[in-house]
Amino acid sequence: MTTPQTSRGKIPRDLENDYTFETAAARRAFLAEQTGVALEHVSQYSFDPSILPGNVEHFTGVAQVPIGIAGPLLVDGEHARGEFYVPMATVEGTLVASYNRGMKMLREAGGVKTTILDDAMQRAPAFVFDDARQARAFGEWLTEHFTEIKQAAEATTRSGRLRGIEQYSASRILFTRFDYTTGDAAGQNLTGKATAAACAWITSNYDGITNFYLESNFATDKKSSQVNILRTRGKRVVAEATLPAALIEKHMHTTGERLFRARQVSNLGGFMSGVNNNGAHSANGIAALFIATGQDAANVAESSAALGFSELLGNGDYYGSITIPSLIVATYGGGTGLATQRECLELLGCYGTGKVRKLAEIVAATVLCGELSLGSAIVAEEWVRAHDRLGRNRP
Amino acid sequence: MTTPQTSRGKIPRDLENDYTFETAAARRAFLAEQTGVALEHVSQYSFDPSILPGNVEHFTGVAQVPIGIAGPLLVDGEHARGEFYVPMATVEGTLVASYNRGMKMLREAGGVKTTILDDAMQRAPAFVFDDARQARAFGEWLTEHFTEIKQAAEATTRSGRLRGIEQYSASRILFTRFDYTTGDAAGQNLTGKATAAACAWITSNYDGITNFYLESNFATDKKSSQVNILRTRGKRVVAEATLPAALIEKHMHTTGERLFRARQVSNLGGFMSGVNNNGAHSANGIAALFIATGQDAANVAESSAALGFSELLGNGDYYGSITIPSLIVATYGGGTGLATQRECLELLGCYGTGKVRKLAEIVAATVLCGELSLGSAIVAEEWVRAHDRLGRNRP
Amino acid sequence: MTTPQTSRGKIPRDLENDYTFETAAARRAFLAEQTGVALEHVSQYSFDPSILPGNVEHFTGVAQVPIGIAGPLLVDGEHARGEFYVPMATVEGTLVASYNRGMKMLREAGGVKTTILDDAMQRAPAFVFDDARQARAFGEWLTEHFTEIKQAAEATTRSGRLRGIEQYSASRILFTRFDYTTGDAAGQNLTGKATAAACAWITSNYDGITNFYLESNFATDKKSSQVNILRTRGKRVVAEATLPAALIEKHMHTTGERLFRARQVSNLGGFMSGVNNNGAHSANGIAALFIATGQDAANVAESSAALGFSELLGNGDYYGSITIPSLIVATYGGGTGLATQRECLELLGCYGTGKVRKLAEIVAATVLCGELSLGSAIVAEEWVRAHDRLGRNRP
Amino acid sequence: MTTPQTSRGKIPRDLENDYTFETAAARRAFLAEQTGVALEHVSQYSFDPSILPGNVEHFTGVAQVPIGIAGPLLVDGEHARGEFYVPMATVEGTLVASYNRGMKMLREAGGVKTTILDDAMQRAPAFVFDDARQARAFGEWLTEHFTEIKQAAEATTRSGRLRGIEQYSASRILFTRFDYTTGDAAGQNLTGKATAAACAWITSNYDGITNFYLESNFATDKKSSQVNILRTRGKRVVAEATLPAALIEKHMHTTGERLFRARQVSNLGGFMSGVNNNGAHSANGIAALFIATGQDAANVAESSAALGFSELLGNGDYYGSITIPSLIVATYGGGTGLATQRECLELLGCYGTGKVRKLAEIVAATVLCGELSLGSAIVAEEWVRAHDRLGRNRP
């Protein structure tokens, strides 16, 4: 295919200040001229575009994503304590209702207990050598020089701290994971910058590196991976609760035993299908909360990995838990300070510094409510069907 | 933890008509009262809430997500042909710029060739029996009665067609995947309804099913899985292009050989880390396009799986491709008809029926531009570093 | 490293007939001369080397691997029915004893029910094209010409039947799996030959294939893979049994509830660790039976994948099952006709044609006995520890 | 199924000394009586059964597995240096020939460079608590008390050393991996015993453990797993070599470019199929060496995982490497001291203490020879086919 003759034009850009009402309008006018489509709703936004540098380029308007509110969600966390109204930005019907139903039941059950198990954001440079022995020697050197490397990395950041460097070797390559804590930021950018600085120090002080790559599929940013399920990316959070048998019957019209039996089958299904999440649908709650609160929605890729685990207790009560091993959230930086996004964070009492763990706990608690709600819906279906089948009048 | 004494109130709801400006305002007032937070920007939306049933519950306002425009993107597809301006809703700086850079280079290279390889949306009921032999016998019966099952399923839907039923067995359970084509809808709901009807017919006509579950982690909705990478969910799309050596140098300041070598290392890294995507960052472009065009953002979970494949040609040119095995898109239903979402689809010439394959191709083409742009950035970094290292003056 | 000056000699070989006592002795003498090591026990074999062509090259002697006998194993199969004494060739203490213990308990429980769910051996050629559309078009052509391809494949084999061709596409490549039934042979060689013939026909009748490879990691011979777990390689076999509570107590000194709870934890562990087998140790039984009966021991790689599934019944009984999705066994060809190997097959009533499904069932039944035996041992350990912990006297 | 009336008898056993010629003969007689099958070849062994305690129970005779010799294999290792004749016990024709071909070519290329990157054998106890916070607190305690735990563990073993304890958390469970070095033993038994002792100390000194399991699918003994690919089990070994273009042509009748292109396709195939080894067939060489040298053949399950990585150099030379991340070998204990097994270890200069790393290097070097040999065979096929196709005379 060759470039069409009636080639389309270049998107207008103001080299001095591209973040104004005027440049946005100019781009919309340009698009209308080129395509015949007027972006009227897209043009309706309530903030000054001057807040947008660092968030978007070629700003032209906004997507208006409906927000529904679920709650109150009762959280028994270490950082989030009490009841919350949860803003969920979504275009999928029943999503808010389903989470809301789960929140109602879990509130009666005493709330969702949440625990942050780990916290690590990484960049994962790879270093290539002439042979495997040199890669191994470099790995030893890396361990010995951790202090200097940490210093070089941390010189570039106020809030990032280099916790450690994981090493994974194959062939003549050493793959590493530089693990940081990143305060209230999600931290992909600061870890990128810090690791680049660390690698500059490394390559200046170590001979024999044939090639190095700042990233080589070991981080694994915007992707789901076993290494992140095992070793954490962002926050590793658990939400857990025990549902009394009576509550399950009342709210979910089923029993703990049925819930549990269904989990067994879907665990086997997930193991066989090679799924990255043996739970129900954590991505729904996570995506809705991410969009509402200004998180990076692309991180749904890794944040949607989950480990469900349940137990049927002797008395018919049901213990349910979900572990999110790579939940990437921020209450500072990124999209958190934008107009609607900041309001939604404030609604949760999660805007600004010192709040990121609280937000992580609220997300996890929300997810658990959705897991139990959808899990029950599938099982109640079973019950309806079984009833239908068993009760039918066969000639 | 017991329910707090000063328990928070129930979210207001108008049982007659909950989709009005007034009920949305009432909920914001309630939230302000309960939390002290005023949702002023959230309240700024430009459409009538009466369009929202089926998209959200407890509607309270909107998230305003900034949209940047990238392009023109030159697509050599079977459904999308010509140049497009791509709306990307994101809060992450550099994202639009990076995709834009890739689009510019690929436009000069003659555009992105796109191909839809397969199309299938599924529900995955599991059937449990007394023993494995009964599960096996049921599987045979299922194959024999496909016509009747198809009829039962399709009676519930105008656009859904049951293509076939995959069977996966383990223990005394038969896991199935009911594969449909779903027209221009993403189809999760219609396949759910159709499969429930099919299962009602099945359970009415087959004795011996101990339990059945409409879903058991074989679909794998809102999750990433090997079965979907192998067998497709939504659209299976390839975007491919050959970059002349000169263009790589001009736009990316590197060479095809360097790009290729970096791919080898990250392929190995991805294989070892157990990643669901051996490419760079498809989730970025997908999430931004999904939010702009009213797709279900939770589907970033499965849509972000990808298979990158590149070749270095003898003359230094570089063949790059990305295969998205489970891309879930719609141009009809879901959030596609909402105010800004519809405008963005119209901008792409993708609103309404008969357009879903065009949209799938545009998404895939966009993703490839981002892959090559970020891939190059990582490699150019390498080059800078190598230069730095090799050129430094050591005492 | 350069080739050492005092380079070692070439292994002696008789170009006319290399399978004699004399050539084997000549090689041992040569090795003694080169290394100073006399292979005295290795030289003790009881068969005529003339039976060995097709089994080994440079024959020099034998490994004597101890065989222990476990049983009687009571099998309630469709092909294996009744009691069997199972020969297990192993060097690992407790292996035979552990399987024997499981066999004893399951015999009292009424035996192991076995079911073969599927049967398919494959070669997996990949075909490369100029672009994805050509790969897709070729896929359609392949489907249309299945009859001719089948004919070309089957012309090369007496017992192989081409069941179908699976297609998996990515980039400009079509990966295929040619699925055969192979009678009583394991079938890797016959499927290789048949698929090579099929591909010769294909490449002679289809233009535009840029490259083709007879194998490209989709079979996945001698490796474990999700595709084989999903789609079967060799035999897909289930072994299942229900253990009465009293028997578990008597033989295993634990309860079904404890067994079950331990399974839950190890299921979660296996899901998180990314294991190819959520059971206990099927490879032990499989390797021991494979060596004893002349199977290809390298196939332990794929045959050791397994799907465990258990249920705790209301009355305390325990349903246990193991599904082996890629069990590769033969009763004809390969090593099955060698001296001791044939005797061991005869011991099981499994030598020769028409016996391969019987053997597959015996292997699966054996594996289940080992699963329950080791599973119980781990749990009894728990019990001992808990007892120890709870009963201790702390100052 | 009920126990058959004409139930089969109990296998004879001498409670005082079960490891004698007589008891083995008695069992053979019993089997002959029960089944009508005489185990004549099985009875032909050349050692005294009194050496067998700890290797097998119910000893009845031996499997005679043919051994072929490949070599000389030129190894440029840190522990194995020089040329070796490699004993391979197999029943699969062409296996020895194929490895031999690769050894010949790599010898001319200057041999195989081998490097041991890591060394760790583990047991993986799981600890269950009332909630996730308690599991987390226990994890911290574990880290603080490493010295005492190490002491408790090492008190039970002469050669085992506890290197560290990895922690992986989910729900209210802490999964651990106790990593040991184990001298020249494979170490599964000694790590089991040491970890049991460590856990006895732990459960005596820590309150609040609800349940603990000595093993929960995180080790993952006799199974393949991502965690072992990432974190090593047994030895992590690399074998690498650069093949000059001329040698590839001479021995393999193909070119490095073709070899490399085929690798790219099979890498993509393996990534999509979810394989645990993106190489060719390492299990073949590993199984054959394991049986010959008295290793535990069930460990083929995990030892067959591999990471292949190749590069095409500018001059047409070909760099090939294979990384075996979980190679489990011993030169002491287990089956290494048995009659033929010991001779084969001696042939390699690998019997007894201080030799296990040497053996690991020889195994890895052997595997690489097989990878290049089979890889070339597949490609030469391509070449033949392409020639055939392009050269044919179409009417």
**pLDDT digits 0-9 by tens, D88-103:** 999 999 999 999 999 9
pLDDT tens per residue, range B35-68: 999 999 999 999 999 999 999 999 999 999 999 9
The number of C-beta contacts closer than 8 angstroms across B and C is 85
Q: Which residues of B are catalytic?
A: 92, 296, 387
Half-sphere exposure of D115 (CA within 13 A, CB side): 21
Query: Which of D23, D69, D229, D346 would you mutate first to test chain C, the one with the most C CBs within 10 A?
Result: D69
Token pair in block for residue A388: 């239908």
Q: In this structure, are residues C372 and C282 in contact, taking their beta carbons and an 8 Å threshold?
A: no
CB within 8 Å: B240 and C117: no
CB within 8 Å: D273 and B307: no
Assess whether pLDDT exceeds 60 at residue C386.
Answer: no
C117 falls in which pLDDT band (50, 70, 90)?
Answer: very high
pLDDT tens per residue, range B252-272: 889 999 999 999 999 999 999
CB within 8 Å: B7 and A72: yes
Assess whether pLDDT exceeds 90 at residue B331.
Answer: yes
Token pair in block for residue C206: 């289809």
What residues in C contact B236, CB-CB < 8 Å? Answer: 169
- Which runs of consecutive H residues, i.e. helices, occur in D296-354? 300-303, 339-347
Q: Quick one: CA torsion of B350, B355, B358, B359, rounded to 10 degrees?
A: 50
Partner residue opposite A110 with nearest CB, options B2, B218, B305: B2
Q: What is the ipTM metric for this complex?
A: 0.96
- Which runs of consecutive H residues, i.e. helices, occur in chain B? 21-35, 95-108, 132-144, 146-154, 188-205, 226-231, 245-247, 256-273, 282-293, 300-303, 339-347, 356-391
Q: In this structure, are residues B286 and B234 in contact, taking their beta carbons and an 8 Å threshold?
A: no
pLDDT tens per residue, range C168-193: 999 999 999 999 999 999 999 999 99
Assess whether pLDDT exceeds 90 at residue C377.
Answer: no
Q: In this structure, are residues D137 and D203 in contact, taking their beta carbons and an 8 Å threshold?
A: no
What residues in A contact D238, CB-CB < 8 Å? Answer: 132, 169-172
Mean pLDDT computed over C345-364: 97
The CA distance from D370 to the nearest CA of chain C, in Å, is 13
Partner residue opposite B268 with nearest CB, options D261, D273, D309: D309
**The pairing of beta strand C318-327 with beta strand C307-312:** antiparallel
Mean pLDDT computed over A270-297: 98
Token pair in block for residue A214: 């700042």
CB within 8 Å: B236 and C118: no
Assess whether pLDDT exceeds 60 at residue D315.
Answer: yes
Partner residue opposite A171 with nearest CB, options D118, D172, D321: D321
What residues in D contact C272, CB-CB < 8 Å? Answer: 168, 170, 175, 218, 227
A376 falls in which pLDDT band (50, 70, 90)?
Answer: confident
Decide if A92 is catalytic: yes
Alpha-carbon span D244 to B193, nearest angstrom = 62
**The pairing of beta strand D59-76 with beta strand D112-123:** parallel
Alpha-carbon span D112 to D247, nearest angstrom = 14
Token pair in block for residue A336: 């958190």
Q: In this structure, are residues B320 and B314 in contact, taking their beta carbons and an 8 Å threshold?
A: no
CB within 8 Å: B274 and A94: no
Partner residue opposite C346 with nearest CB, options D37, D95, D392: D37
Consecutive H or E run containing A178: strand A173-181
Token pair in block for residue A277: 């999440």
3-state DSSP assignment of residue A75 = strand
The CA distance from B281 to the nearest CA of chain A, in Å, is 6
Mean pLDDT computed over A141-154: 98
Alpha-carbon span D295 to C90, nearest angstrom = 9
Mean pLDDT computed over D118-140: 97
Cα-only R_g, chain A: 25
What predicted TM-score, i.e. pTM, was given to this entire model?
A: 0.96
Question: Which chain A residue lies closest to D137 (C-alpha atoms)?
Answer: A117
Name every residue whose Cβ is closer than 8 Å to that of residue C162 and which is 6 or more positions away in sequence: C149, C150, C153, C154, C178, C179, C180, C194, C198
Mean pLDDT computed over B123-134: 97
Q: Burial letters for C178-203: b for 16+ Cβ neighbours within 10 Å, e otherwise?
A: bbbebbbbbbbbbbbebbbbbbbbbb
What residues in D contact A76, CB-CB < 8 Å? Answer: none
Mean pLDDT computed over A49-67: 97
CB within 8 Å: C274 and A226: yes
CB within 8 Å: B271 and D271: yes
Q: How confident is the model at residue D283, as a pLDDT?
A: 98
CB within 8 Å: C385 and D294: no
Partner residue opposite B307 with nearest CB, options D272, D274, D311: D272
CB within 8 Å: D223 and C275: yes
Question: Which chain A residue lies closest to C257 (C-alpha atoms)?
Answer: A314
pLDDT tens per residue, range C281-322: 999 999 999 999 999 999 999 999 999 999 999 899 999 999
Of B297 and A395, the structure prediction assigns the larger pLDDT to B297
CB within 8 Å: D47 and C41: yes
Q: Across-strand partners of C162?
A: C180
CB within 8 Å: C240 and B132: yes
Burial of B149 (C-beta count, 10 Å sphere; 0-12/13-18/19+): buried
> C interface toward A at CB cutoff 8 Å?
226, 229-230, 261, 264, 267-268, 270-274, 278, 307, 309, 311
B385 falls in which pLDDT band (50, 70, 90)?
Answer: very low
CB within 8 Å: B222 and A63: no
Name every residue whose Cβ is closer than 8 Å to that of residue D393 and which is 6 or more positions away in sequence: none
Tell how many helices (H) and how many strands (E) occur in chain B. 12, 10
Judged by average pLDDT, the poorest of B342-346, B378-382, D261-265, D350-354 is B378-382
Q: Which residues of D are catalytic?
A: 92, 296, 387
Judged by average pLDDT, the poorest of B166-170, C106-110, C198-202, D374-378 is D374-378
Mean pLDDT computed over D232-250: 96
> A interface toward D at CB cutoff 8 Å?
78, 113, 115, 117-118, 131-133, 135-136, 168-173, 226-227, 230, 236, 238, 240, 274, 307, 309, 321, 323, 325
D290: alpha, beta or left? (left if phi > 0; alpha if psi -120 to 50): alpha
D6 falls in which pLDDT band (50, 70, 90)?
Answer: low
Consecutive H or E run containing A32: helix A21-35
The CA distance from D278 to the nearest CA of chain B, in Å, is 8
D8 falls in which pLDDT band (50, 70, 90)?
Answer: confident
CB within 8 Å: B264 and D307: no
Q: How confident is the model at residue C208, as a pLDDT?
A: 94
Angle, alpha carbons B239-B240-B242 (nearest 5°): 160
What residues in A contact C274, CB-CB < 8 Å? Answer: 226, 229-230
> A interface toward C at CB cutoff 8 Å?
226, 229-230, 261, 264, 267-268, 270-274, 278, 307, 309, 311
Q: What percent of chain A clears pLDDT 90, i.e. is strictly above it?
A: 90
A381 falls in which pLDDT band (50, 70, 90)?
Answer: low
Partner residue opposite A240 with nearest CB, options D118, D172, D230: D172
- Look over chain B and give the mean of its residue pLDDT values, rounded to a whole number: 93
- Look over chain D and give the mean of its residue pLDDT values, rounded to a whole number: 93
The CA distance from A126 to the nearest CA of chain B, in Å, is 8
pLDDT tens per residue, range C55-111: 999 999 999 999 999 999 999 999 999 999 999 999 999 999 999 999 999 999 999
Neighbours of chain D (3+ CB pairs under 8 A): A, B, C
The CA distance from B272 to the nearest CA of chain D, in Å, is 7
Alpha-carbon span A384 to A386, nearest angstrom = 6
Q: In this structure, are residues D371 and D281 in contact, taking their beta carbons and an 8 Å threshold?
A: yes
CB within 8 Å: A272 and C307: yes
Question: Which chain C residue lies closest to B242 (C-alpha atoms)?
Answer: C131
Neighbours of chain A (3+ CB pairs under 8 A): B, C, D
Q: How confident is the model at residue C380, as a pLDDT?
A: 73
Q: In this structure, are residues D56 and D294 in contact, taking their beta carbons and an 8 Å threshold?
A: no
Mean pLDDT computed over A5-24: 90
